[in-house]
Amino acid sequence: MNQEKEPQKGSQEKQKETDALAEKQAESKKMPEAAGPEKKAENGADEKAAKKGNKKEKPSFFQSQKFRHGGAAAAFTAGFLAIIILVNVIVGILSDKYPSINLDVTKAGTNTLSAETAKTVDSDKLETTITICATKQACQSNSVTSDGADYSQVNRLISKAAERNHNMTVKYVDLDKDPVFAKNYQSDNITTGDVIVETKKRHRVLAESDLFTSQSSSNYGSQTYYSNVDSALASAINAVTADTMPIAAFDTGHSEKMESTGYERLLQNNSFETKDINLLTDKIPDGTQLLVIGCPTTDYTDGEISKIDAFLHNKTVSGDRSVIIACSPGQPTLAKLSAYMEEWGLGVQTDNVVEETNYQKFFNNNPLYILADVQNSINFGNSHSGYNNFTAPYSCPVNIKAQNVGSKTTYSLIKSSDSSSIYRSNKKESDSQTAAQNIAALSQESVQVNNKPCHANLIVTGSSLMFGSNFVNTSAFSNAAYDVDLSKYATGTNNNSAQVTTANHQLYAADITINTNVAKVLGYGVFTVLIPLAVAVAGIIVYRKRRAL
């Protein structure tokens, strides 16, 4: 019985579970119908939220990629420009204070002080004022004058000199705004562009013609300008700082054939004052220590010879004194002047000329343009170990009568090589024998001045061209150095100042020279086609890449 009742009880429980499940299913069917609108609203909101989440939110302009790239580029550009401007300002300030940091890119180095001028600047121990008669702005912009003078170079070299030596002060004066300044130099007639170098001893005015020179072309269609600023500055510093300024007087009263312009400028650059005199009518100026007689063509009077002799034997004026007599082949015989030279043991053969047989001892394919040998019989008291390539063109032989003539002693200064010979114009032929010939000689006598010995010198040269501009103005020959040393020795001023040789540099020289064909290729091919094409291609590439950002 019991076994039969247990299965019946289990079936009743299963029936109850089935009925409960059926009721739940019926309720679940009713619930969606009742809450249908609310559920749909919730589902719609969820769907919109899902869609909104799936769709990217558009960023603001300041968060956009375009702004980020453009802003970075603008910031970089602004920063770069700021750095450039700052560097430019700093360099401008430093270049004004330290001019030497400015690079000299000129072909001839015209914006750099030469070694000689730098030495002269460094040796200046006096307070020196250098005044440029123009505004600083006008100098820097090269608008001082309207011709070819380059006053920007004047400004640069003077500024570099002042940087090297703190004893030097540079000033700028506008004569239009400060006319009173010119009254302090009335005798000099200063004008705009002049440079005044001054110490407590003296002053010197450098005019534009001292700083710059020009040369016309053969057809006068153009002019080439040259700068003498470097040597002119050195000569002015020498002049205003020298203890003494000896005068070199040039006689002009006997139709002299010697071209003395180059020699006079050379002396002026080396602390000499030069004056032209007529020995027949003028007295020899006070302070003269050098009298130059440059290849005269008419003879001297007895009075003039007496003036020369009194000058050499003056016992009231201290210091060495000398007379230089420059001669030349073909010069007329001057009896009285020749007789006076004979008294000093010297003579000259103006009817003969020295010629060279060794091609290594002459130049210009002319055996009369000889390269002579400077003798060391007299010590000029300088640092030169020798004078290479010294030339004495068209030279006549100089005779030395004896080594001693009374109280006078003679010395050979310059000789030709032992391969030279003499061409005798009266025979119109050369000597068959070769031998060294005297080309310049000196006769010296001692003169007592206040119980102090001084030298009186008579110097005779067989070549007047050795003093010519063509040879003293070029560094290819040592004539300038020798002529300066000889003149300083002749006046006893060889230790007075540093030596300055005249040197000029061409202004506005073309650094690059090209022919017409190359100019056309560069002008039309490179600058007209290639460069614009390269810029266009680069622009297209940049544009396309920026579009892809």
Q: What is the 3-state secondary structure (H, E, C) of 162-187?
A: HHHCCCEEEEECCCCCCHHHHHCCHH
Domain assignment present for residue 20? The answer is no
Residue 503: partners with Cβ closer than 8 Å, 6 or more residues away: 114, 228, 230, 231, 473, 475
CATH number of domain containing 388: 3.40.50
Instruction: Provide the pLDDT confidence category of residue 12 given band limits of 50, 70 and 90.
Output: low
CA distances from 534 to 17, 530, 544 (A): 91, 6, 16
* Per-residue pLDDT, 67: 55
Q: How many residues does the chain have?
A: 549
Sole residue written with tokens 């000499």: 272
Domain assignment present for residue 181? The answer is yes
**Domain co-membership, 153 together with 91:** no
**Domain co-membership, 287 together with 211:** no
Burial 79-103 (b: 16+ CB within 10 A, else e): eeeeeeeeeeeeeeeeeeeebeebe
User: Of 510 and 365, which is predicted with more confidence?
Assistant: 365
- For the chain, how many structural domains are there in total? 4
CA distance 204 to 196: 6
* Per-residue pLDDT, 1: 43
Kindly report which listed range (118-127, 131-140, 424-433, 538-547) carries the lowest average pLDDT score: 538-547
**Domain co-membership, 85 together with 104:** no
| Cα 232 off chain centre by | 12
Domain holding 92, by residue range, is: 63-97
pLDDT reading at 383 higher than 70: no
Domain assignment present for residue 39? The answer is no
Kindly report which listed range (81-90, 199-208, 350-359, 506-515) carries the lowest average pLDDT score: 506-515
Task: Please compute, for residue 3, the number of CA atoms within 13 A of its CA located in the half-sphere on the CB side.
Answer: 0
* Per-residue pLDDT, 293: 98
Domain assignment present for residue 219? The answer is yes
**Domain co-membership, 416 together with 287:** yes
CA distance 502 to 516: 36
Residue 547: partners with Cβ closer than 8 Å, 6 or more residues away: none
Average pLDDT, the chain: 85
CA distance 392 to 361: 11
User: At residue 375, what are phi and psi to the nearest 5 degrees?
Assistant: -85, 155
Is residue 287 classed as helix, strand or coil in its secondary structure? Answer: coil
**Domain co-membership, 430 together with 489:** yes
**Domain co-membership, 326 together with 342:** yes
pLDDT reading at 242 higher than 80: yes
CA distance 153 to 145: 13
Domain end, chosen from 226, 242, 258, is at 242
CA distance 252 to 280: 9
pLDDT digits (tens, 9 = 90+) for 493-541: 876 655 666 566 777 666 566 667 777 777 777 778 888 888 888 888 8
355 beta partners: 421
* Per-residue pLDDT, 2: 46
**Would the pTM of this model clear 0.75, i.e. be above it?**
no
Q: Which amino acid is at 45?
A: A
